Structure 1
Amino acid sequence: MSIIKLPSVLAFERKLEPSDGVMFSGNWQDIGNDKKWQPIELFERRNRAVKSNFTQEVLEDEETLQKQIAEANLSWGDDGSLNHGQDTLRLSFSLRVVAGIQNPTACNNVEFESRFKEVIAGYVQGDLQELAARYAYNIANGRFLWRNRVNAQQLKILVGTSELSNKLKFNAYDFPLSGTTTNDKNVAQLAQLILAGFKGEKNTVLKVEAFAQLGDAQRVWPSQEMVLNAAKGEKSRHLFSLNGVQGKDNVAAMHCEKIGNALRTIDDWYPKFEQTNKPIAIEAYGSVTQRGVAYRSTRNDFKTLLLKWLSSETSSQLTEQDKHFVVAMLIRGGVFGEGES
């Protein structure tokens, strides 16, 4: 098979499935005592703020500028914080590891699927340990806490599963966000659990609990909902919440997608990594929307590397890092038929 093209229908299901994360308030010394933790309920905050953003046209007109500066900037949105007298955030979620990386969810080309299964099955049996170790690293370092992680006094991660008699414990600050791998024995044990799930040797479901000591009654940062075309004067900031948590409604939470993005932030193989020294989330073109940059060009994007790998004429051109990236994209999941733009 010398020339391989992507099928018009080609899709892969996610192989790392995090749940939404729920936020609780408590104290650092009460870690391990579930009865001491209360769900964090969102509330609304209304402020009379000052305007600080103006068009160039207004800035060039002193009279109009002064008039607009004098007007109040009314702010209305959701907020959340730890309870008074409590200093620690607990974020809890589950993570299901799904087998079958070598099996497309949908593929309408039998020849392509046969070659794909042959190549990827070989990788799964021999090289998948590297990816499992990187996902384990991002659990241990608490990257999924996002802004809640910044300048916390202490950070602890607990991971439990039916396979463990005792929970794995991690001091998240031992694992820098600039890194992706470590020789830590607990991280290695966690990686083995993830690897067994990927290979279908066990039905792996992890319970992850992260504790961030932020300070008494400090603000917490749930996921923010995207609201399109909000009417002027209406609430402008909507935070993600869940109902029915220990009988409470409107409980602060983090989207499963946001947690998943953190877990797959393992790509330090992209060309400009030495300049940034920051791993990025696994994306087909290495896109980082916060920076407005796509770090992977059409020479080392997912589709190009996948087709090279599947072709007997070009498979030898791929590095081990290229193969890790391709399989990490399969774990991420998505729709990649040639009809997709």
Structure 2
Amino acid sequence: MQQSLKTAGVLAFQRSLYATDAQFYSVLPHQQEKPVWVIRHGIRGTQNVNKATEKEFSNIQITDTAKLDPTAEKMKVVFDIKFFDLANSLFACAKGKKDKEKDTVKKFRATYDAFLTRAKDSHGLKEVVLRYVRNCTNGRWLWRNLTLASTATITVVKNDETEHGLSFDAVALSRKGFTDYTADELALAELFVANLQGYATDRFRVTALLDFGMPGVQVYPSQLYTSNKPKGFARPLYAVGAEEPVRTVEDVMHFQATRKMGQAALRDDKVANAIRTIDTWYPDYESIQRPIAIEPQGVSLELQERFRIKKASAFEIIQKIDELDPDSPNGMFMIASLIRGGVYSGE
């Protein structure tokens, strides 16, 4: 039985897939557009937690919300995505403090380069990219907003070449599996693959147009985690751009009941997480029956579970990269893990 390849003590891969924030716009009558604002305001709700006493009824909070313009029934959400040559993915590879073998780094670099050569022209790479395409076109990256929409159309254009853009019905495309790719998905995948192979350096703009069937609905940008938040503060939402300045206390004739915090958006890492939710190769997939994001140990925050432990983890699989078939389930998972990037140091 072949021994595992010893990885370098210092080993890291840079991402080959970059996504920007996805910004929200209200689509007004006559196709005019304006930003969806995150608004900070106060609310007086009801007390409905177990620790409430019999005398507590009100729940006074400061919170953020985002709503479409009162005249808008549709919302546009836009982000850009770019792929980089896999040949540049190895960011750091050096001898660690505990490395005793002189040729560890040299051996790993040679083995890794050989795997990339096999992977770049493999069916495995094309399948990984087709799954990225499916998650762009099925609107998985829209998260909760997609479930509220009656229709959702997604267009993808390359380098602002709008006349050659591809259009997809997001609601009609599956979010449970990766089969029955359309001709347009196959065509888009070829463009993505060319960038990962180093034959092109394109930028792709992904635009979703959601119809909610009623004006002024509340929509859902990313929710931010904060530690030590002020008492009575409920939640902050992600916004881009400068917030509206706070008026002075002396300006009592213009009391500020609400404040614009910036344009509503989904964070870039939330968008990227949705796009790389393609792992159906993990051991428990047959019983779970849902894809998880590409993570070295298969950690799913949604399911609160680690699905790739021991030999199924990327840390173990990379030690077999010299004999890894890029068309195999482990090979495709490894390709997607390299595109994701991460630290795989042996120490």
Fold in common (TM above 0.5): yes
- Aligned-residue offset at 1:265: 0.5
Alpha-carbon distance between aligned partners in 2 of 1:164 and 1:199, rounded to the nearest angstrom? 24
- Aligned-residue offset at 1:296: 1.2
SS in 1 for 2:226: coil
SS in 1 for 2:37: coil
- Aligned-residue offset at 1:268: 0.9
Asked whether the equivalents of residues 68 and 215 of structure 2 are also in contact (C-alpha less than 8 Å), the reply is: yes
**Could you say which residue in structure 2 is the equivalent of 1:156?**
153
User: 38, 52, 55: which is aligned to 1:42?
Assistant: 38
Alpha-carbon distance between aligned partners in 2 of 1:170 and 1:181, rounded to the nearest angstrom? 16
- Aligned-residue offset at 1:2: 4.2
Alpha-carbon distance between aligned partners in 1 of 2:335 and 2:242, rounded to the nearest angstrom? 37
- Say if 2:75 is the partner of 1:89: yes
SS in 2 for 1:267: coil
Task: Structure 1: give runs of 5+ residues left out of the alignment.
Answer: 56-63
- Say if 2:249 is the partner of 1:251: no
Of 291-300 and 163-172, deviating more is 163-172
Asked whether the equivalents of residues 64 and 237 of structure 2 are also in contact (C-alpha less than 8 Å), the reply is: yes
Q: 1:57-91: per-residue Cα shift (whole Å, max 9, x none)?
A: xxxxxxx8424xx2422221111111112111111
- Say if 2:230 is the partner of 1:218: no
**Could you say which residue in structure 1 is the equivalent of 2:277?**
265
**Could you say which residue in structure 2 is the equivalent of 1:66?**
54
Asked whether the equivalents of residues 223 and 235 of structure 2 are also in contact (C-alpha less than 8 Å), the reply is: yes
Q: 1:168-218: per-residue Cα shift (whole Å, max 9, x none)?
A: 000001211102233301111110110011001111210110111123111
Q: 1:234-269: per-residue Cα shift (whole Å, max 9, x none)?
A: x33111111179xx9711111100000000011111
User: 329, 338, 344: which is aligned to 1:336?
Assistant: 344
Equivalence map 1:188-207=2 (5 Å): 188-207=186-205
Give TM-score, length-normalised by structure 1.
0.87
Change (3 A) 1:194 1:41: same
Give TM-score, length-normalised by structure 2.
0.85
Alpha-carbon distance between aligned partners in 1 of 2:290 and 2:279, rounded to the nearest angstrom? 9
Q: Would you say how many aligned residue pairs link Structure 1 and Structure 2? A: 317
Asked whether the equivalents of residues 101 and 331 of structure 1 are also in contact (C-alpha less than 8 Å), the reply is: no
Of 71-80 and 146-155, deviating more is 71-80
AA in 2 matched with 1:144:
W
- Aligned-residue offset at 1:164: 6.8
Give me the CA root mean square deviation. Answer: 2.2
Equivalence map 1:18-29=2 (5 Å): 18-27=19-28
User: 295, 310, 333: which is aligned to 1:325?
Assistant: 333
- Aligned-residue offset at 1:303: 1.2
Asked whether the equivalents of residues 4 and 112 of structure 1 are also in contact (C-alpha less than 8 Å), the reply is: yes
- Aligned-residue offset at 1:319: 7.2
Instruction: Spell out structure 1 runs of 4+ moving beyond 3 A.
Output: 162-165
Q: 1:128-157: per-residue Cα shift (whole Å, max 9, x none)?
A: 111111111111101110010013110100
Task: Structure 2: give runs of 5+ residues left out of the alignment.
Answer: 95-104, 244-259
- Aligned-residue offset at 1:51: 2.5
Asked whether the equivalents of residues 42 and 79 of structure 1 are also in contact (C-alpha less than 8 Å), the reply is: yes
Percent identity, aligned pairs only, is 27
**Could you say which residue in structure 2 is the equivalent of 1:59?**
none
Alpha-carbon distance between aligned partners in 2 of 1:155 and 1:103, rounded to the nearest angstrom? 34
Alpha-carbon distance between aligned partners in 2 of 1:151 and 1:239, rounded to the nearest angstrom? 18
Of 36-45 and 261-270, deviating more is 36-45
